[in-house]
Amino acid sequence: MSSLSRDDVAKLAGLARIEMTEAELVELSSQFGMILDAVARVQEMDLSGVKATSHPQPLENIARPDVVQPSLSPEDALSGAPAQEESRFRVPQILGEAE
């Protein structure tokens, strides 16, 4: 059976910016194990010659011409913003990241 350690789950939660309690971390680590096992059954099949897929439809080369269409007005663009200033989205201070 696959397993994910409590620390693995804590790291994933951190990367996804999800706050979790200690109890949730422990509970999820066993649940993740079961999920991984379920998905791992795919490996039991003979997949030689089957291309990895990332889209449900067998489509390729869907593109659009390089033509400009009207954008939203800045008022509309900002209408859902929790805070704004000078026609810009205002976000809390960003620490410990790149400049």
Partner 1 sequence: MALPTYDEVVAKWDPVLGLEVHVELNTNSKMFCSCATEFGAAPNTQTCPVCLALPGALPVVNEKAIESTILIGLALNCKIAPYSRFARKNYFYPDMPKNFQISQYDEPICFDGYVDVEIETEEGPKQFRIEIERVHMEEDTGKSLHVGGATGRIHGADYSLLDYNRAGIPLVEIVTKIVPGTGKYAPEVAKAYVAELRDILRGLKVSDVKMEQGSLRCDANVSLKPIGSDVLGTRSETKNVNSLRSVERAIRGEMIRHAELLNDGKKVKQETRHFQEDTGLTRSGRSKEQAEDYRYFPDPDLVPVTPAAAWIEELRATLPERPSLRRKRLKEEWSVPDKEMAAMINADVLDIVEATVLLGADPTKARTWWLGEISRIANEKELPIAELSITPAHVAELVELVAKGELTDKLARQVVEGVVAGEGTPSEVVAKRGIKVVNDDGALMAAIEKVCAEQAETAEKVRGGHLPAAGALIGAVMKETKGQADAARVRELLLGHLGVN
Which stretches of the chain bind partner 1, using CB under 8 A?
15, 17, 54-55, 57, 59-69, 71-74, 77-78, 80, 85-99
Using the minimum distance from each CB to partner 1, give the nearer residue, 36 or 91.
Answer: 91
φ, ψ of residue 84 to 5 degrees: the values are -145, 160
Shortest distance in whole angstroms from residue 39 CB to partner 1:
14
Shortest distance in whole angstroms from residue 20 CB to partner 1:
16
Rounded Cα–Cα distance for residues 85 and 99 (Å): 20
Shortest distance in whole angstroms from residue 13 CB to partner 1:
13
Burial 70-81 (b: 16+ CB within 10 A, else e): eeeeeeeebeee
Rounded Cα–Cα distance for residues 7 and 20 (Å): 12
